[in-house]
Structure 1
Amino acid sequence: MLPPSLGSIPEVKEDYPGASLVERTARLQQFIELGPPDLCNIYKHSINTKRENGEIGTFLYFTGVDTSSIASIAAHLQSLANLMTSKSQYWFGEKKHWKVPQLTYCSFNSFSKVDMRVTVHIPGKFEIQIINQDGKMIRDKLNEEQLDRFWTETFITSIIRAVLESEDGDDVNKVGGVVEIRKINPFNNGIVSKELLNNFLIGFEELFFQGSKLGCTVDIPQPTLVNNYLVDGFLKVIQLTQSYDRGLEIMDRIYKIDPSVISIIAHLQLLKQDEIEAVKTLYKGIQDNKRDSNTLILQAEYCLDKKKPDMALELAKQAVKSSPSDYSTWSVLVKCYTKLGDFENALLTLNSCPMNSHKEKYQLKRVVPIRSHDDLHLPSPMDVTLDEVSNLQSNDISFEHRNLDPQLSNLPAANLKTTYAKAYDLLTEIVNKTGWEQLLKYRAKVFVMEEEYRKDKKTSNGHLRKNSTQSSVNVNNSSIVESDVDSTIAIKSPSQKNIDAATLAGDSVVPTDGEIDYDDEFRKKRLCERWLDNLFMLLYEDLRAFTMWQAESVHFQAQQMEYKKTTLEWEILGSIAYRLKHFKEGSIAFANALSGRFSAKSQREMLKYYLKERNKLLTKNTTTSSNNANFIQNYQKLMNQLNEKILESIVKLLVWNHRWYSDFSPFLLLSLSDLVAWEGSVKIESSITALYNETKLPGSGNKDSSTRESSKDSSNNDHFVNHGIISMMKDFDSDYIKLYNLSNADE
């Protein structure tokens, strides 16, 4: 569904018409796994000039478009052309009325590694090109059956890209972030979306055994039949549309061919909140295959959620033995030890985690470089506005960045990626329970410190020279072999290390006869991996910044003085607190950030906090005695307050996303669906109407203070407060929530 406002089409000017297509072709060999977003190239010229004199080329990216056939793409391009030619628009300060004679749409097929391209000539014909990664066209070599297969693969790839792309939400604030992109909700277009969902599920089943071609997350070294982006996307689509029964039917059929998918069945049952059936499925899966790490991990995580870490421990150990090269199995074992308070084994296990530095979390990346921001046309959509969000002053944000407190700039933990970021999260879980000083004691107890290693190396070298023998010390699941000739250190390969480590980090080390002169305590220690040693230093920096902030805050309170920070500084402090698992302090920082100006990151983190607090309240409600009158009296009041804050956060973030051409956020859709499940759609609609009733302020003008152009109409200077929000939310309620008959959709 294309945007109703002409001003909500971001574009980039090309050096010459078609330059983006040439650039994309040149980069095809670089496309891996799910590949880049779809690209749309547009030829256009002013209606007042001849085509040959005034034709220019522009391009933008898309996700969520129906790419299941030539016809669906051609229809999308035709509607885009109609939108751009229907009336004049402001183009870099000048009012232009365009003609669009030609558009080309490119979508990468990650299964067969080809770029599918459809060109529409207006009026008249359309044509298709299929280009392989060598830049050669292969259209003429395909029969109809192969072509249909290519379109199915392209469509499935596009939907997976749309639902799995990174939702960090800070892309527009990051250097190199893709802003010239329109993200469409593929599941919010009435009966057409029901057909699209059906086609996706059929295509998923058809391509299931090819899923490993799409790649996998950083937790897994190599994609498998069960662990890959195709399965991840399938689970997300089922969750978004709550098509659990249909999903289970598909997986039951696949299970008859390959029983290893039983963990996916259990996962779907858990998403459906059918815990009894899920537990039965998990039990059957483990009975049938006691080395199925996917089922073992799923059951271990279920036990952890139910606060049964002792039961989860043995499952996690078995999972590590079954898949010693998977980061995910080790991370669950670390969580088990941490929950049990066995911090020594938690550190030893963390130290054994196989780190995956060659992969990144999947996110959409720019294909065509932008020479200058002067080539970017990023108009502000005027069909949905909320003053607090829409009128954000870009100059104020730039000022905050230029004047950022040096002690808060570039804290290294904020830049961690892949499994290193996940490992840091596990380390902060440990320090949150032990405290820094105690953590250092555990660290010294289980790991060889540098001075100890040097001292022992000197001692062992003397022993080796005296006996002219070769000895080995088991350190960090690696054999460090020292020779009496050069004292050279040889370390086993990572794969062998992981196999050795499958005996589990907590097992004791048995000394050999050649080690009898070594200190007994030293023999039990491991060498701390360099990456983990680095995480300790990053943790120290975070703790130092957090402690300083808390001390300053107490000082200012004691002096009855206002503790002032910019929104950016509060946001960074909130992020530090969240990393250290101090969520209450973090929420205060993010709330302070929002009191200064709107920040998408702060609002998103506050939404996560409200959702977390509501879950805690729900848990407390189920465990608190029904005789506790005080709690019962306050429960509904607290729940209503949290739900109001959740709704407010969702609305503001939806408006922000719309301003940046994104009408699809799985996180926000799931949060809204969950809220409707608790409150009912009728109550949500009433709350939206009451909170965001549109108000017209005549003659005040519609001012856009950002550096981007607005799609203003000079004939209308009226300013609307809360413009279009009720309509926007009705689209989600009527076209999405009721379309899929989500929980409480009609109540």
Structure 2
Amino acid sequence: MIREIGPPDLCHIVKIHTPSRSEPDIGSYHHVLGVDTSTSASLAAYINSLQYSLSETQGWFGSGNNWKIASGTYCTYNAFSNVDLRVQVKIPGGVDAYIVTPAGDRREVTEELWKECHVSSLLRAILYADPTTYSVTGLRRMTPVASPREETKFVEAIVEQFWNGWALGSNAETQVASTARNFLVDGLMTYFGGEGRYADCAAEILAPLAYAPLGGQQSSSRMSAEFKGIDPEVAALLAETYMEGDEEVQAVRVMHQALKVKSSCYPLLATQAEFLRRKKHPEAALTVARMAVKYAPSEFHAWAKLTEIYLEDGDYQRAMLTLNSCPMYTFVDHDYPRVPTPRRINFPVKSDVLADYDLGEQGTGPMPPSSRASLDMDGPGLIEEMALNENSTILRLSAPTLKCTFARVYKFLTEIVSTIGWDELLLLRSQVFVMEEEYRNSAIPSAAVDDEDQAEDEDEHVPLSTLRERHTSELSRPGEGEPSTDAILPTTNDAVDVAAEISNAVDDDAQVTNDDSLAGAEVEPTVESVEAPAVQPEAPSVILEEPGKGKKKNRKNKGKRSKDNLKAETTPSVEPSVLTEVLNEGDASAASIVAIGEQMDVISLSDTDHGEAKGSEQLSEVENVPQVAEQLSAPQSAMFETTPSEPTPAPEHLPISGGEEEGESLITKPEDSGDIIRKRLCERWLDNLIMILFDDLRMYTSWRSRMHNLRATGQPVTYRYTQAEWEALGDLALRLRRPSEAREAYEYALAIRFSARAWQRLLEMHSGVYMSMQQEEQKRHEGIPEPLPLTSNDSLMQALDAVVWLSVYHDRWYNNMAYPNPVCEQLIKLINIHGLSKVRNSMVSMNLKPAVFNMVKKYFEVAEKFNVRGSKW
């Protein structure tokens, strides 16, 4: 079952032995990305080109001229129509192209199917270009767009199929594929974003599509009168490209036009929130981000953007509550090919290039003196390292296995820890989530007092919530100085009316959270978001007692709650003065609350008929509630919220660290004490992520302690860990936002043996990918050595060293894709910083072999052909 854009193309050939016809024919297959699949002639030309590799000394099929290709079949998947296109080539002979449906039927190929196959193949080549994220045995990568002429053909194909992009599906972080969220858009942004050519993408593709009549959908069911000049979803992409291309005036103009057409478009609101965040307007960005969550509560992107704004603003409490309410999706991995197990795998080694570069394989020759050492004969052997890796706790950490939305949430948690520390995170967790002891003291017991014994036992066996209710009713009894709560509380079946009236009394600058429901009373989405625990803990089965009193067992009605207990738990505790002010306010402030775009809160059940009808069913068992507000069938009980008789004090906030004295807590009370945040149950998956973070921090502390002891005693460090463990430690340091220590770990890994992953991370550090993380590390930690400036010659030479090693590695495994390529993308960033002339001259000064220099030369040609920034100087 193919779920995404499909596996790589498959090429199968049949070889015959010409001198001896008695030998049987041999079938051989390999996977390929980047071949032009727009016509049958281009596919036949590719199969014919394989014939020339047979005569090479070191080719795809090995040396020797005794074999010839008799026939070949090229298979490519059409992700739009979900069919397989096959082209059979006979040498000599003809070409036969046909379609195979999922049912196995054979059909003729139409012109439209050829166009769809071409776009599908291009998207696979672009999205699967990184070998670290997508690796298949026997995969050959070729450049999908090698010249500006081919790019023009690529742009025309993308524009023609753009409005059908939703049929391809979307990545794992998107719930529903749309015009702005699908694989076609991902491939488009990846292709132009890797070269930094956002202006070309906006001018050639997105701007014509955004302003086309009916958004380019002439066959759409919408009437022409409904179109007002611009497509909102495409406008969101257009504004994003303008922002990335440093054309902010154009971005603002596009967003303004699109918001007048459809103000509820959540991709457009998310783009606007990002623009306001970059311009240091957190309050405005927060308002827009809340509206995006309101209009798309089931989309993770909207919640992630809201969390990002909260973190930048230093509101860690609401950031945690927002993460707790994020919709989490099951990860769907890429499509991988399903082929029979081969009898033999043959990857001929190009010895003329690899003679001076040891890529970790045995028998590839010694290291050149001028090159970086990637192998030390004094270290442990491969067999010994494999035995050590099997029992390594470093390689068994769970964080590297996180994917999709869980990886994004974990990244937010590491950002919080790097700012406030682990101890403050635990304190923050206890402030915003219900802890076990609080749950036991606040939850309704699973067994109520028997009806016949209730009168005699009510003084001995009274739940804690009932005692609170009694105390509240005594304080607010009529005639004793305060008005009665029952007299003020409206007798209605809908608890939303009460929550909305309470919200109206809140000042615009204060953020008070109240109960809400599906009817639409608007509140803080991150604080009062829908409670959706994957597995809620069950209520305690014991009855809470007063100290010193005995316990009496129930003799009947076991597992049920009495009517008094139900009312005690479902009746909200409301400040009388607040209610009086609410009734006087009317609907004026309600409209302002609705306009902000806040929504989705957990509401309290009233003690009316509606609440009594559903109360016992909901309170008897904690149910799983969907995270999407529209999917809720009934309001959730506030059984886990404490209802004190006095107004709840304002919570404590977590400002960004930087001005606190040593020893002081980062948790401080805000000046405005009107901010109330009620505790929620922590989702099981979020609690698991916090435990995963704890494991990472524990391993990191152990690693740094051991490193300190080894250096203090003068002992060698390199072989204290295996090469795979050093890589894992480098990834661990990057996850915890410590790039200086990650760089150190990667260098130790390279001192043992070649590692493509380590070289790639070092190249990214020298090209500025982790520059913001390095600057934050400098501010938060003392004694961290300053990284090399990106404009320095030393940084450039180290980056080019990584480019050479990775180019040789990719060529070894038949990765001939010039662009998109992770090495080419980082080299283009170096060209943007230093200029093409300086980077090329620095590469020439390394005195590389001609064959090695030609491998790197293709990256420079890409920069020149497509006119990237810095290619003219």
Interval containing the TM-score (normalised by the shorter chain): 0.7 to 0.9
2:97 is aligned with 1:150 = no
Alignment of structure 1 residues 201-350 onto 2, 5 Å:
201-240=155-194, 242=197, 244-245=199-200, 247-256=202-211, 257-258=214-215, 259-260=231-232, 261-305=234-278, 308-350=281-323
5+ long unaligned stretches in structure 1: 1-29, 172-176, 502-508, 621-633, 695-722
Alignment of structure 1 residues 514-663 onto 2, 5 Å:
524-563=678-717, 564-612=720-768, 615=771, 639-663=792-816
Structure having greater relative contact order (Cα 8 Å, sep ≥ 6): 1
Distance 1:484 1:477 in 2: 20
Match of 1:128 in 2: 97
Residue of 40, 43, 62 corresponding to 2:14: 43
Match of 1:380 in 2: 349
- Decide which moves more: 231-240 or 611-620: 611-620
Distance 1:512 1:655 in 2: 60
Whether the aligned pair in 2 keeps the contact of 1:310 and 1:336 (CA below 8 Å) is: no
Distance change >3 Å, CA 234–CA 592, structure 1 → 2: same
Q: Structure 2 counterpart of 1:432, which letter? A: S
- Decide which moves more: 71-80 or 193-202: 193-202
Match of 2:440 in 1: 454
Distance 1:617 1:539 in 2: 18
Distance change >3 Å, CA 390–CA 569, structure 1 → 2: closer
Distance change >3 Å, CA 641–CA 326, structure 1 → 2: same
| RMSD, aligned CA | 3.6
The structure with the largest alpha-carbon Rg is 2
* Seq. identity, %: 29
Q: Structure 1 counterpart of 2:869, which letter? A: S
TM-score by length of structure 1 reads 0.79
Q: Structure 1 counterpart of 2:28, which letter? A: T
Name the SS for the 1:724 alignment partner.
helix
Q: Which of the pair is proportionally richer in helix? A: 1
TM-score by length of structure 2 reads 0.68
Distance 1:344 1:112 in 2: 47
Q: Structure 2 counterpart of 1:679, which letter? A: H
How far apart are 1:357 and its partner, in Å? 0.8
Q: Structure 2 counterpart of 1:268, which letter? A: T
How far apart are 1:230 and its partner, in Å? 0.8
How far apart are 1:596 and its partner, in Å? 2.1
Whether the aligned pair in 2 keeps the contact of 1:574 and 1:586 (CA below 8 Å) is: yes
Match of 2:144 in 1: 186
How far apart are 1:251 and its partner, in Å? 2.3
Whether the aligned pair in 2 keeps the contact of 1:352 and 1:477 (CA below 8 Å) is: no
Distance 1:325 1:88 in 2: 54
Distance 1:519 1:387 in 2: 75
How far apart are 1:527 and its partner, in Å? 0.7
Match of 2:828 in 1: 673
Distance 1:491 1:79 in 2: 59
How far apart are 1:524 and its partner, in Å? 1.8
Distance 1:388 1:377 in 2: 21
Q: Structure 2 counterpart of 1:543, which letter? A: L
Whether the aligned pair in 2 keeps the contact of 1:69 and 1:151 (CA below 8 Å) is: yes
Distance 1:617 1:435 in 2: 16
Match of 1:69 in 2: 39
2:400 is aligned with 1:414 = yes
How far apart are 1:387 and its partner, in Å? 3.3
Q: Structure 1 counterpart of 2:16, which letter? A: H
Alignment of structure 1 residues 40-189 onto 2, 5 Å:
40-50=11-21, 53-85=23-55, 97-139=66-108, 147-165=110-128, 167=130, 169=132, 177-188=135-146
Match of 1:31 in 2: 2
Distance 1:618 1:440 in 2: 25
Q: Structure 2 counterpart of 1:63, which letter? A: L
2:150 is aligned with 1:196 = yes
How far apart are 1:576 and its partner, in Å? 0.9
How far apart are 1:75 and its partner, in Å? 0.9
Distance change >3 Å, CA 523–CA 642, structure 1 → 2: closer
Name the SS for the 1:387 alignment partner.
coil
Deviations, residues 51-101 of structure 1 (Å, cap 9, x unaligned): x63201111001111101111111111111232256686979x96731110
Distance change >3 Å, CA 132–CA 167, structure 1 → 2: same
How far apart are 1:523 and its partner, in Å? 9.1
Q: Structure 2 counterpart of 1:135, which letter? A: G
Match of 1:733 in 2: 860
Whether the aligned pair in 1 keeps the contact of 2:239 and 2:254 (CA below 8 Å) is: yes
Name the SS for the 2:394 alignment partner.
coil
Whether the aligned pair in 1 keeps the contact of 2:388 and 2:722 (CA below 8 Å) is: no
Name the SS for the 2:845 alignment partner.
helix
Match of 1:483 in 2: 616
Match of 2:869 in 1: 743
Match of 1:403 in 2: 388
How far apart are 1:40 and its partner, in Å? 0.2
How far apart are 1:690 and its partner, in Å? 1.5
| Number of aligned positions between the proteins | 649
Distance 2:145 2:640 in 1: 64
Name the SS for the 1:68 alignment partner.
coil
- Decide which moves more: 677-686 or 68-77: 677-686
Q: Structure 2 counterpart of 1:378, which letter? A: F
Distance 1:635 1:577 in 2: 19
Match of 2:487 in 1: none
Deviations, residues 155-213 of structure 1 (Å, cap 9, x unaligned): 00111111112636165xxxxx412100111223xxxx333211221111111111101
Distance 1:575 1:113 in 2: 38
Whether the aligned pair in 2 keeps the contact of 1:41 and 1:104 (CA below 8 Å) is: yes
Distance 2:646 2:129 in 1: 50
Distance 1:691 1:554 in 2: 36
Q: Structure 1 counterpart of 2:206, which letter? A: M
Name the SS for the 1:378 alignment partner.
coil
Distance 1:72 1:306 in 2: 49
Name the SS for the 1:376 alignment partner.
coil
